[in-house]
């Protein structure tokens, strides 16, 4: 690259309502599962032929979650589920068999601290998978914790166990809580960290980590009732497993850069439509020139700008990213004549929006077409235009592929006639 200095750019992102909707959508499933678990705790009665689920259900759910995480290469979720699985084994083989004594007290306190601690750590780490060298390094954390617990128990370090239970705050409201206060602090920190990361990253897995940390705290606090620990620990694993599925579905059907549904989503939507529809193919004019002149970072920002505008199209249209600089807008059940004004307004709206680019160096190559700076000053303004081709299906006679091809031909005519127009 022969770019001197760097470019900073100011473009419009998605509307605040869309961002809020995405955040709420990320928390919907984890909080929904958690809320149902709270309502059913202590009240759900399994029929006799399903009584085996009380014993084998936790193993089934936790193992399924681990396998899903490996299959979809979600290393952070794998290690959180591994922590929950190790905690459940500790419950079955230690806490459920020995309700008192230094061993049970040490193991219980360690679980209250280590599991939410692991959730906080794996929330902060970036995704790097599990079955690889980084995954093996991360595996050392739960293994070190298991070794630390074993060392404390074998050495009969009563002083260390007593330190874990030592109160940090003296308050009457904390008297009925069984979890050591150190565990409460770590759990609160884990929930806050996971919630903040879920909002900032737009990550459903981070949202699930927050709900899983809260669910595991309920499991530990309900330990005097063995069924409560098994229930809430299993629910924590179920929340993370569901998040892995939800996140993998989103990656398959949604474009990561723009947040719009992707090509697979529009193809499946078209196949599901029985009646007529109108389809618009949208292409950014001179997009290659943006990348050549300003670099791919600016090109990505241009894609996000156009996607944000397409998302606001009227007439009941749904925007999709079709590939590269091409987008699709689908108007299900609408005639072409009824949506042309909305598409024309969309084209004019994008054309009227100027992107300010603060350049601390110089551009790499001259810019063609509309993708050129308005002045040679430090703060440059670049304009973005789109060409739109429109096609309509009035009945079942035409296949979706034919309509896409017709819209693509109309788009080609729009470009050959001078671009920045709807045909």
Q: Is 420 helix (H, G, I), strand (E, B) or coil?
A: coil
In 3D, which of 73, 14, 63 has the Cα closest to residue 205?
Answer: 73
Question: Is the pLDDT reported for residue 380 higher than 70?
Answer: no
Q: Each residue of 223-244: pLDDT tens digit? A: 656 678 888 899 999 999 999 9
Q: Return the active site residues.
A: 325
Lowest mean pLDDT, pick from 144-148, 296-300, 395-399: 395-399
Distance, CA of 150 to CA of 100 (rounded, Å): 17
φ and ψ at residue 379, rounded to 5 degrees? -90, 115
Residue with more model confidence, 46 or 64: 64
Q: Which residue has 């419009």 as its token pair?
A: 12
For residue 77, pLDDT over 90 is answered with: yes
Distance between CA atoms of residues 65 and 212, nearest Å: 13
What structural domains and CATH numbers belong to the chain? 16-251 (no CATH), 256-416 (3.30.70.270)
Residue with tokens 């009584």: 51
At residue 95, the pLDDT reads 82
pLDDT band at 245 (very low <50, low <70, confident <90, very high): very high
Of 122, 178, 118, which Cα lies nearest the Cα of 145?
118
User: pTM (2 decimals)?
Assistant: 0.75
The yes-or-no verdict on residue 354 having pLDDT over 80 is: no
Quick: pLDDT tens for 27-59: 888 888 888 877 777 665 555 545 555 678 889
pLDDT digits (tens, 9 = 90+) for 246-303: 888 888 888 888 888 888 888 888 888 888 889 999 998 888 877 777 777 778 888 8
Q: Would you state the pLDDT for residue 48?
A: 55
The tally of CA atoms less than 13 A away on the side-chain side of residue 61 is 21
Q: State the chain's mean pLDDT as an integer.
A: 81
Q: Where are the alpha helices (DSSP H) in 72-132?
A: 75-90, 102-124
Residue 293 is predicted with a pLDDT of: 73
């Amino acid at each position: 690259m022969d770019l001197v200095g760097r470019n900073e750019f100011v473009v419009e992102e998605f509307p605040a309502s869309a961002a809020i909707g995405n955040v709420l959508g990320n928390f919907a499933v984890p909080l929904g599962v958690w809320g149902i678990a709270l309502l059913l705790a202590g009240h759900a009665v399994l029929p006799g032929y399903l009584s085996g689920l009380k014993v084998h259900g936790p193993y089934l759910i936790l193992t399924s979650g681990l396998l899903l995480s490996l299959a979809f290469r979600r290393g952070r979720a794998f290690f959180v589920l591994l922590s929950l699985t190790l905690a459940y084994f500790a419950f079955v083989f230690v806490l459920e068999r020995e309700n008192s004594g230094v061993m049970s007290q040490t193991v219980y306190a360690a679980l209250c601290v280590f599991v939410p601690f692991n959730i906080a750590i794996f929330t902060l780490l970036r995704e790097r998978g599990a079955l690889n060298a980084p995954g093996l390094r991360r595996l050392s954390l739960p293994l070190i914790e298991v070794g630390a617990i074993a060392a404390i128990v074998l050495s009969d370090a009563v002083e260390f166990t007593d330190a874990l239970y030592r109160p940090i705050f003296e308050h009457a409201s904390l008297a009925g809580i069984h979890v050591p206060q150190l565990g409460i602090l770590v759990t609160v920190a884990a929930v806050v960290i996971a919630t903040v990361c879920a909002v900032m990253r737009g990550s459903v897995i981070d949202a699930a980590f927050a709900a899983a940390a809260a669910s595991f705290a309920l499991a530990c606090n309900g330990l005097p009732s063995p069924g409560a620990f098994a229930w809430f620990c299993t629910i924590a694993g179920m929340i993370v497993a569901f998040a892995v599925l939800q996140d993998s579905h989103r990656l398959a059907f949604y474009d990561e850069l723009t947040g719009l549904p992707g090509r697979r989503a529009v193809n499946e939507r078209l196949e599901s439509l029985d009646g007529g529809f109108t389809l618009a193919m949208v292409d950014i004019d001179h997009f290659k020139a943006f990348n050549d002149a300003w670099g791919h970072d600016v090109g990505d920002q241009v894609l996000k700008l156009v996607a944000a505008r397409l998302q606001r199209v009227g007439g009941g249209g749904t925007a999709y990213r079709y590939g590269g600089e091409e987008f699709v807008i689908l108007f299900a059940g609408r005639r072409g004549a009824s949506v042309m004004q909305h598409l024309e307004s969309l084209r004019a709206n994008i054309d009227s929006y100027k992107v300010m680019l603060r350049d601390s160096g110089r551009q790499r190559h001259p810019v063609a077409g509309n993708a050129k700076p308005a002045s040679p000053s430090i703060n440059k303004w670049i304009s973005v235009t789109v060409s739109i081709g429109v096609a309509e299906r009035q009945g079942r006679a035409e296949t979706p592929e034919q309509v896409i091809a017709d819209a693509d031909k109309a788009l080609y005519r729009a470009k050959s006639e001078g671009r920045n127009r709807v045909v």
